[in-house]
């Protein structure tokens, strides 16, 4: 799928988690619901770090472009080193390492550890990166025509304000993980979810997605998981634009309203 659809699906997924949490008597404070949806929307772009033409490659200028090239080479090297004889040969790393459940879990766990051990500045950095990505994905038309600096300023300002709101008693800095010193440990959850939702979205397209790596499927270690061929679509096709994106918006609205107790 394309960047806007990935971001919408990420936001909708976290709002759905909020609804489920409320149903199981562990409701999210509204700042957690909002911040988590934004982080998840941004994290849903992150697996495309292995693609130099993806939305994320433009998000932070030369830094993100250079990082995409590094991750592409790393992903390709891992693919070559671990492919079975039944896995096809390929010339790049797109839709390999960063499109797996293992990558999603490691990135989310790393963010949680950074948030707990790195203090406020680590939390601000995590929020800033994902808010910028959320703007690039959800508001992509405006982001394309505006200055990168303006998007970065919006991300930095939003991160500072939202961290201040979350820090206030009862607003969710310690949501879900309530032990001493576990404030913001939950930040890894929307990051894991966003990456997995991205992978599931890509699995619906023609090429499929090797979500289960390194678990082999049949004789392939990089098996492209997906529905039957007749149910797949091309990225950017009318199915994505006219069916899935409106569905994500409706589901996100219903999930958010349920999470906030409106019904």
- Residue 3 — very low, low, confident or very high, per pLDDT cuts 50/70/90? confident
Give per-residue pLDDT as tens, 109-154. Answer: 999 999 999 999 999 999 999 999 999 988 866 666 567 788 899 9
Check: CB of residue 222 under 8 Å from CB of residue 46.
no
Residue 207 backbone class (left: φ over 0; alpha: ψ -120 to 50; beta: rest): alpha
Full-model pTM: 0.94
pLDDT(246) > 60: yes
CA angle (202, 204, 205) in 5-degree steps: 70
The token duo for 52 is 């130099």
For residue 4, the model assigns a pLDDT of: 87
The token duo for 108 is 């989310």
- Residue 238 — very low, low, confident or very high, per pLDDT cuts 50/70/90? confident
| Collapsed DSSP state (helix, strand, coil) of residue 217 | strand
User: Rounded to whole angstroms, how far apart are CA atoms 200 and 73?
Assistant: 23
Residues 6+ apart with CB under 8 A from 198: 1, 6, 9, 10, 43, 44, 45, 46, 47, 48, 99
User: Rounded to whole angstroms, how far apart are CA atoms 165 and 168?
Assistant: 6
Question: Residue written as tokens 């992150």?
Answer: 46
pLDDT(85) > 80: yes
Q: How many C-beta atoms lie closer than 10 Å to residue 26's C-beta?
A: 10
Average pLDDT, the chain: 91
For residue 211, the model assigns a pLDDT of: 96
SS (H, E, C) 167-216: HCCCCCCCCCCCCCCCCCHHHHHHHHHHHHHHHHHHHCECCCECCCCCCC
pLDDT(179) > 90: no
For residue 105, the model assigns a pLDDT of: 97
Q: How many C-beta atoms lie closer than 10 Å to residue 22's C-beta?
A: 17
User: Rounded to whole angstroms, how far apart are CA atoms 235 and 5?
Assistant: 10
- Residue 253 — very low, low, confident or very high, per pLDDT cuts 50/70/90? very high
Q: How many C-beta atoms lie closer than 10 Å to residue 177's C-beta?
A: 16
Q: What are phi and psi of 220, to 5 degrees?
A: -105, 135
């Amino acid at each position: 799928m394309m960047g806007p659809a990935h971001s919408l699906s990420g936001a909708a997924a976290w709002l759905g988690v909020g609804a489920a949490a409320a149903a199981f008597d562990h409701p999210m404070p509204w700042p957690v619901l909002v911040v988590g949806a934004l982080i998840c929307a941004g994290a849903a772009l992150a697996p495309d770090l292995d693609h130099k033409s993806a939305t994320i490659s433009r998000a932070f200028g030369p830094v993100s472009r250079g990082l995409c090239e590094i991750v592409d080479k790393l992903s390709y090297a891992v693919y070559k080193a671990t492919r079975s004889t039944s896995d096809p040969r390929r010339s790049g790393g797109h839709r390999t390492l960063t499109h797996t459940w293992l990558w999603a879990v490691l990135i989310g766990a790393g963010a949680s550890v950074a948030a707990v051990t790195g203090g406020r500045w680590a939390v601000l950095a995590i929020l800033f990166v994902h808010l910028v990505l959320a703007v690039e994905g959800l508001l992509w038309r405006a982001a394309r025509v505006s200055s990168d600096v303006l998007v970065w300023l919006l991300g930095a300002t939003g991160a500072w304000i939202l961290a201040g709101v979350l820090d206030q008693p009862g607003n969710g800095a310690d949501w879900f993980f309530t032990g001493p010193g576990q404030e913001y440990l939950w930040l890894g959850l929307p990051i894991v979810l966003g990456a997995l939702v991205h992978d599931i979205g890509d699995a619906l397209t023609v090429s499929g997605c090797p979500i289960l790596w390194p678990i082999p499927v049949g004789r392939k270690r990089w098996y492209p998981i997906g529905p039957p061929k007749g149910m797949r679509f091309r990225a950017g096709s009318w199915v994505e634009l006219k069916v899935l994106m409106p569905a994500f918006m409706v589901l996100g609205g219903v999930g958010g309203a349920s999470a906030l107790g409106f019904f």
